[in-house]
Amino acid sequence: MKKKFEGDIYFTPKQAAEYFNLSLSTIKNYIYAGKLRTLKTPGGHHRISKAELFATLDRRVSPEDMLSSAVFLSNITMALFNAIGPAGRALSRHVQNVSELCSQIAKKLGLSDPDLNRIKIAGLVHDIGHIGIDKRILLKSGPLSAQEYESIKKHPALGYQTLSSIKELSGVADLVIQHHERIDGSGYPKGLKGNDIHVGSRIIAIAEAYDSMVSEHSYKRPISKDMAITELMQHRGTQFDGDIVDTFVKLICLS
């Protein structure tokens, strides 16, 4: 951090991300979208004033406000899911399972109460973008075509659009849009890598993959807990955060 101009403090994008417990990509997205005003050094690097950061990012939303908005929105979402039949009811059960698993993982990792609360809520609404997907695709019982799969891949961005428009859930939106990113950069929608993916999103990715594998769906049968664990371990460090996989496996084996 450097002091400049009338005693204000300036952050690099990386320092700003760490200060507000956000991913570096989130800060960069704010900059490129014009939501964060910056100064540029002679070398072309961005510097952001502390005053500008607080004006833009310090939402001062209470956990109670966040939870209330999330429960209201998730109830509406699950009602919409349930209305489309068995596939929708499976989605409804899935998000509740994922939210509980996220809470357990976050506790085991020793995350702070605010972070735990936000991750649990993000798990509850992570699939809200599915309500914007063609119902015929959601209800399909067989394998998806390449084109249909591309449509399904839009749901994190659609979820982000919905959540970011609600003040109390704008912080949750950052976790939702990243929950299909992969550690090796092969995920979507942005191809983020490693620690550029928010820790909450890395937790959701593991929780939702596990629940998807052990739960019954219209397009596949569930697999055993042991087989699901083996699958997670095979993809640790590539698709999933290796340390979080290890923590999750210990948690599951003790349950």
Looking at residue 220, the DSSP 8-state letter turns out to be B
Q: How far apart are the C-alpha atoms of 255 and 235, rounded to whole Å?
A: 22
Give the residue from 42, 57, 72 where a domain finishes. 57
Question: Which residues neighbour 92 within 8 Å (Cβ) at sequence distance 6 or greater?
Answer: 78, 81, 82
Residues 221 and 122 occupy one common structural domain: yes
Q: Specify whether 85 is located in the same domain as 201.
A: yes
pLDDT at residue 180, as a whole number: 97
CATH, residue 127: 1.10.3210.10
Tens digit of each residue's pLDDT (9 = 90 or more) over 130-181: 888 888 888 787 788 999 999 999 999 999 998 888 777 888 899 999 999 9
Residue 45: CB atoms within 10 Å: 11
Own/partner pairs for 12-20, CB < 8 Å, 24+ apart?
12/45, 12/46, 12/47, 12/48, 13/46, 13/48, 16/48, 16/53, 16/57, 19/53, 20/53, 20/57, 20/58
* Residues 171, 136 within the same domain: yes
pLDDT at position 154 is: 95
SS3 of 90, please? helix
Report yes or no: 236 and 242 within 8 Å, Cβ to Cβ.
yes
Residues 136 and 16 in one domain: no
Domain range enclosing 20: 2-57
In terms of domains, do 44 and 129 share one?
no
**HSE value, Cβ hemisphere, 13 Å, CA-based, for 198:** 28
Which pLDDT belongs to residue 67?
Answer: 62
The verdict on 179 and 236 lying in the same domain is yes
Same-domain check for residues 36 and 151: no
Per-residue pLDDT of the chain (255 residues; tens, 9 = 90+): 444 434 567 888 888 877 766 677 778 878 877 778 888 888 888 888 877 877 776 554 556 666 666 666 767 777 777 776 777 778 888 999 999 999 999 999 999 888 888 899 899 899 999 888 888 888 787 788 999 999 999 999 999 998 888 777 888 899 999 999 999 999 999 999 999 999 999 999 999 999 999 987 666 788 999 999 999 999 999 999 999 999 999 998 876
| Statement to judge: residues 43 and 73 lie in one domain | no
pLDDT at position 166, please? 79
Same domain, 159 and 87: yes
Residue 75 contacts by C-beta under 8 Å, 6 or more apart in sequence? none
Same domain, 71 and 158: yes
CATH assignment at residue 10: 1.10.1660.10
Q: Both 44 and 118 in a single domain?
A: no
**Where does a domain end: 30, 57, 84?**
57
* Of 39, 57, 75, the domain-final residue: 57
What total number of domains does the chain contain? 2
Same domain as 246, residue 189:
yes
